[in-house]
Structure 1
Amino acid sequence: MSSALDLDLSGVPTRRGRRAAVVLLVLLVVAGLAAGGWWWWSNRDPGPQPAAEAFASAWDEGDPAAGPVAGTPATVRQRYETLVDGLQLDPPAVTLTEVSEPVEGTATAALSVRWDLGGDRAWAYDTTADLVRGDDGWQVEFTPALVHPRLTDDLRLVTRRTTPQRADVLAADGTPLVTGRGVVEVGVQPSRVEDLEELVDDLRDILDLTADDLAERIEAAGENAFVPVVTLRDDDYAEVEDELYPLPGTVFRRDELPLAPTAAFARALLGRAGPVTAELVEEHPERYAAGDLVGLSGLQRAYDEQLFGLPGLEVAAVPGEDAAEDTEEAVLHEEPAVDGTPVRVTLDEAVQRAADDTLAQETEHPSALVAIRVSDGHVLAVANGPASGGLDIATQGRFAPGSTFKVVTTAALLAEGLDTDDTVGCEGEAVVDGRRFTNAEDGARGQVPFREAFAESCNTTFVTLAGDLPPDALARAAEDFGLGGQHGLGVDAFTGSVPTNEGATDQAAAAIGQARNLASPLAMADVAATVARGAHRAPQLVLDPDPQDPADERPLDPEIASALQQLMREVVTNGSGSAVADVPGGPVHGKTGTAEYGDESPPRTHAWFIGYQDDLAFAVLVAETEDSFGGRVAAPLAADFLTRLAD
């Protein structure tokens, strides 16, 4: 028997059946509405915001054509590159700041654009992009005004660079040492040459040139080209002008270059400035461009960023190739050039000239001379002779100091209780662990006071006495004179190396400035200045910009300092340094040195003389000599230097 809610036998729904049908119908209607809502939601217009964001992101990455743009990407990309290639800048940073509400299928996006100009400088501006709603959604209409509001189809963007004024290198008192000085560029114009072979021979003779490829360069150049031969200072050109000027084919250009007072003036230390190399342009494109005058070596190179300054940059909209004749350019942004800032050094022109002139006569062997003012540690001269190969051996050379190191050894011996009046042996030879040591020219004086052995630089005395010293005694004493220490020079320099000795033979050789002991002329001039001052103060060279502050002054034991001063005076009055005994001015204190090196017999030598007179300490080195001695080679140069200063 069926329920009253079920269908009856005639097929007419019961009350329960009618309710179920209603529920099913409602569910179908709801489902239909949901499906229609999903279709409407998924196909609604998202608005211009996503398209504007995508375009800003694509431009920020360097390719606006990769964003949603109207037209073909290739066409947009070509238009964009034509507009901005002249900037020669990295892609800008682009930020979307606002999108307007769409009106009848159009909208506007506000963009912030920032181009990096280098050196913490930038060109920033606001621009707008128009968007349109098409069959493919919202797209940006690319126009020149989008890239910059003042651009049109007739204009393109370029950057123009302005070169800063290079700064001078100044002396401590502000006097220019390296500054703009007149030069003459000597060249050849091929169209004016009558006899090429004769011209090249004349140029070689007059200018003392090798110029092996000069003829080939002239032949390969255009008829009206300027083929450079040499650049001469005004004074040097004046000496040969009468011979050069009449030669058929020679042409001349006047210019100005940053130069020291003379060609030799602290040349290796100060370095030179000249046309920038391709390598430097590639390494620092934000700073240099072809034709710039930059530091190429020495201090000029080390401080080039300060001396060179910061180039200026101008951004302009200029007429393109197909622009109308009356199209005018417009300057859109300008960053003025920042001129270089001078570098101030302690070099003294008079002292440096005297040092350079002294070494000019030593043309056969590498040579160097360093002078330091005792009272303040200022380096007044850094000279390298003509045979030094352009190297700054005065501050960076590494040479055995020879007997000039006996100043340090004596300080160690005095600290261990030696008295300068003690009797010591100055025999013809001394043997340490089987190694034979002798004196210069096999000299011998027998039993003498230590002061006499020091004055005559008796090797066997020091070799013998060194055996009583602790292994680290020489290294510790060297520190008191600045050897191997820190410096505040502001340029690369070698302050010396005196390692702890390893065994009796090593210690014996180190006591006379051989073994593994190494020093530069700067370091040994510092030793002389320390004796004169009675304390060590790190020497100074670059004053501005201020380098790292040197260590505080460290005094020597007053009794040791006084003894060393007396001993160095006796070297001049009664010993191996007599070459400086009669120079004008105050009394000279000094120490000769001869360092053997190599395997030749007799061995080659480095000849030294260090000393001081009044407020000036100095070191002279003549390197790689043929069995010469400090007293015979270096001391006479010291005498010449001091005489030039007095004159």
Structure 2
Amino acid sequence: MGKLRNVVFGLVTLVMAGSLAACDDGRSGAEGAAKQLASSLEALDVGQLAFDGKDAAAANDELKAVLGGLDAKPSVRSGDVKLDGDKATFPLNYSWNIGSAKWEYSLDATLKKSGDKWAVQWNAGLLAPQLTEGQTLSAKTVAAQRGQILGAGDTPIVEDRPVFRVGIDKTKVPAEQADASARAMAALLGLDVEEYAKQVAASGPQAFVEGIVLRAYTAEITEARIKAIPGGVSILDSMALAPTRTFARALLGSVGQASAEQIEKSNGALRAGDSTGTGGLQQKYDSLLRGKDGVEVVAMGKPASEGATPEAKVLFSTPAEAGTTLKTTLDIKLQQLAEETLAGVGPASAIVALKPSTGAVLAAASGPGSNGYNTAMLGQYAPGSTFKIVDSLAMFRNGANPDSKVDCPPTVTVDGRTFKNSEGYPESSLGSVTLRDAFAHSCNTAFINARDTVSQAQLESAATALGVAVEAPKLGADAFLGSVPGEAEGTQHAASMIGQGKVLFSPLSAAIMAASVANGAPVSPQLVINADAAAAATPSTEAGASPAEGGTASPSSSASTAMAPPSPASTKPITKEEAASLSDMMRAVVTSGHAGFLAQVPGAPVGAKTGTAEFGNDDPPKTHAWIVAVHGDLAVAVFVEDGGLGATTSGPLLKTFLTAAG
């Protein structure tokens, strides 16, 4: 009985096995082979596959030759398999990320069964549409037109201008001569010889290795001297540039090839060879100005004959999208004038000009001594006696007026610290004088004596009433807008009364203060006009930094775009009546004070306030030189770091600027 049961079980098993074999038409094997082909293509390695009539190593070499120029890997998925005897066909669905574009297509693949294995029938059409034997693929970027930066009246500031790209073309110099040529070129261009020689050596035999970009040839770097070096070339090109090499450089920034660090931080937005903004508005608005590059995938065949141009066919392309134009209020004439005025100033310096009626920033120039730092908008310095404009407004709000009497002694002592007036202060303006006279001659002791009736909180409130140390939502650029603490006692409060202690201004905030007086209402500055662009801007990488007490700011320090709102729950803006009184006293600085030289400026009457701010531990201390002025619908601040007296250093610069501005 047991033997019979075993025989029956064996027969059943045999019948079932026969049924499964009859149902298996090879589909599972074909589907597995299709998926394996897709995954191998995705990895750009088909060396382990079985091929029908093709050596696996040869197929793998062909794959790398055809697709290697795309510098990317595709996503490949196999579709539904259709069987026809010993053949199986199915689609291969490709998806590539080429630059910023997605290239997708579907191709038909065929498998042939040999014994119990499915082998791939290899041909060029498995890799890209319309591809024929012997063609290879390459991708190139179609550069987007970078957006312009416009000044007042939509006048172009940064636009494509002709340049010369100078370097070594390795196709024009024998390999054994390349090193010597690189060293000769580096010496001519003033480059690091060893570094440039390494760049040339590391570049391919077809490379052009750029050394420098020139706006124009110079007495030292001439076309003839470039061409005298074997392989030396000068290629005419264009580049987005401002009118001059230094024009508003610290404010606008520059455009050049992305560095390795910038590429790494871009999260894939930048690649080697891309242009990008560095510093200033070019960096802040880079994602807008840069636009979106287009892409071309080209199939290149072998040349029909030696020396012939190989046939090229575009398989895929996306158009470049031009960058957004950035509109600013910058007046090109005034900006150039400001830079020319500062050209001979050794220390860090700045001139900022605003239009009080609108808040438009017309010029924001940082002198050559700033070494590329945006002193005009980011500098943090004690404002010195220019801050007496704030003091005076606070005193008005306590009942004073320009004719009120104040006491101006030679010295005043606060908690053991002695304060005095500047050297050469006129004796005729000591004693009991009008507030106007004390302001015109900048009597430190008179304003320090007012500390008992003007609190630190009132100083803060008066500063914000003048548009200082508050947010500037329309500015659209990184700037330090001033800092006036709401609390200070003893000598710190006394120092605040003469614009020192912990009070800090930038030249921009000093110009805002003067502009608010001229406007009769707080001025909110504006530089970038297209607010939508400002809202969408790439976050700035410039982080805030605290300068040393006393207000010095090094070229490595920077500041945030906007200060936090003032601590008072609400600040009463300056009124037209208060502004008129301040204008009266600023005019007295010119008519009877120590800025009489400004009386010669043609046009509307000039009102001004000078400032000298001590800093450091030297004896006597070093000083920053300030002056602010209003001249019709123009407000200007001039600053020179370590510049001595405001009247004698910054004053003449202001006179030059206002006279030429007309």
TM-score (norm 2): 0.79
Structure 2 residue corresponding to 1:529, chosen from 510, 515, 522: 515
TM-fit CA distance, 1:548: 4.5
Question: What does 1:426-575 correspond to in 2, within 5 Å?
Answer: 426-441=408-423, 443=425, 445-487=430-472, 488-544=474-530, 546-548=533-535, 555-575=573-593
Instruction: Work out whether 1:371 is the aligned partner of 2:353.
Output: yes
Which residue of the partner structure matches residue 599 of structure 2? Answer: 581
Query: 8 Å contact 1:179–1:260 — kept in the other structure?
Result: yes
TM-fit CA distance, 1:639: 1.0
Query: 8 Å contact 2:475–2:528 — kept in the other structure?
Result: yes
SS in 2 for 1:580: helix
Which residue of the partner structure matches residue 359 of structure 1? Answer: 342
Which residue of the partner structure matches residue 424 of structure 1? Answer: 406
Q: Aligned partners of 2:223 and 2:291: how far apart in 1? A: 37
| Change over 3 Å in CA distance of 1:548–1:421 after alignment to 2 | farther
Query: 8 Å contact 1:56–1:64 — kept in the other structure?
Result: no
Match of 1:421, as an amino acid? Answer: D
Structure 1 residue corresponding to 2:367, chosen from 385, 390, 393: 385
CA deviation profile, 1:213-257 (whole Å, cap 9, x unmatched): 6799899999xx9998876545x85xx599996999488845444
SS in 1 for 2:63: helix
CA deviation profile, 1:152-178 (whole Å, cap 9, x unmatched): 331222112333333432223222222
Query: 8 Å contact 1:587–1:614 — kept in the other structure?
Result: yes
TM-fit CA distance, 1:312: 2.6
Which residue of the partner structure matches residue 642 of structure 2? Answer: 624
Question: What does 1:149-228 correspond to in 2, within 5 Å?
Answer: 149-183=129-163, 211=190
Greater C-alpha Rg: 1
Which residue of the partner structure matches residue 117 of structure 1? Answer: 98
| Change over 3 Å in CA distance of 1:51–1:580 after alignment to 2 | same
Q: Aligned partners of 2:199 and 2:8: how far apart in 1? A: 93
Which residue of the partner structure matches residue 4 of structure 1? Answer: none
CA deviation profile, 1:482-515 (whole Å, cap 9, x unmatched): 3232223222111111122232221111121101
Match of 1:456, as an amino acid? Answer: H
CA deviation profile, 1:140-197 (whole Å, cap 9, x unmatched): 4443212224223312221123333334322232222222334457889999xxxx9x
SS in 1 for 2:126: helix
Match of 1:485, as an amino acid? Answer: V
Q: Aligned partners of 1:226 and 1:24: how far apart in 2? A: 88
Query: 8 Å contact 2:257–2:276 — kept in the other structure?
Result: yes
Instruction: Work out whether 1:33 is the aligned partner of 2:7.
Output: no
TM-fit CA distance, 1:349: 1.7
Query: 8 Å contact 1:581–1:588 — kept in the other structure?
Result: yes
Which residue of the partner structure matches residue 645 of structure 1? Answer: 661
Query: 8 Å contact 2:38–2:92 — kept in the other structure?
Result: no
Which residue of the partner structure matches residue 342 of structure 1? Answer: 325
Q: Aligned partners of 1:569 and 1:95: how far apart in 2? A: 80
Which residue of the partner structure matches residue 568 of structure 2? Answer: none
TM-score (norm 1): 0.81
SS in 1 for 2:46: helix
Question: What does 1:18-29 correspond to in 2, within 5 Å?
Answer: 29=8
| Change over 3 Å in CA distance of 1:67–1:417 after alignment to 2 | farther
Q: Aligned partners of 1:533 and 1:220: how far apart in 2? A: 57
Where do 5+ consecutive residues of structure 1 fail to align? 1-20
Query: 8 Å contact 2:351–2:637 — kept in the other structure?
Result: yes
Match of 1:33, as an amino acid? Answer: V
TM-fit CA distance, 1:597: 0.1
Which residue of the partner structure matches residue 385 of structure 2? Answer: 403
Which residue of the partner structure matches residue 127 of structure 2? Answer: 147
CA deviation profile, 1:252-309 (whole Å, cap 9, x unmatched): 8454443333344223212333455455456659666666554344323333343333
| Change over 3 Å in CA distance of 1:114–1:184 after alignment to 2 | closer
TM-fit CA distance, 1:606: 0.6
Which residue of the partner structure matches residue 88 of structure 1? Answer: 71
Query: 8 Å contact 1:154–1:322 — kept in the other structure?
Result: no
Q: Aligned partners of 1:585 and 1:37: how far apart in 2? A: 110
Which residue of the partner structure matches residue 649 of structure 2? Answer: 633
| Change over 3 Å in CA distance of 1:286–1:141 after alignment to 2 | farther
Match of 1:153, as an amino acid? Answer: E
| Change over 3 Å in CA distance of 1:107–1:614 after alignment to 2 | same
Query: 8 Å contact 1:317–1:331 — kept in the other structure?
Result: yes
Where do 5+ consecutive residues of structure 2 fail to align? 174-179, 202-206, 537-561, 566-570
SS in 2 for 1:440: coil
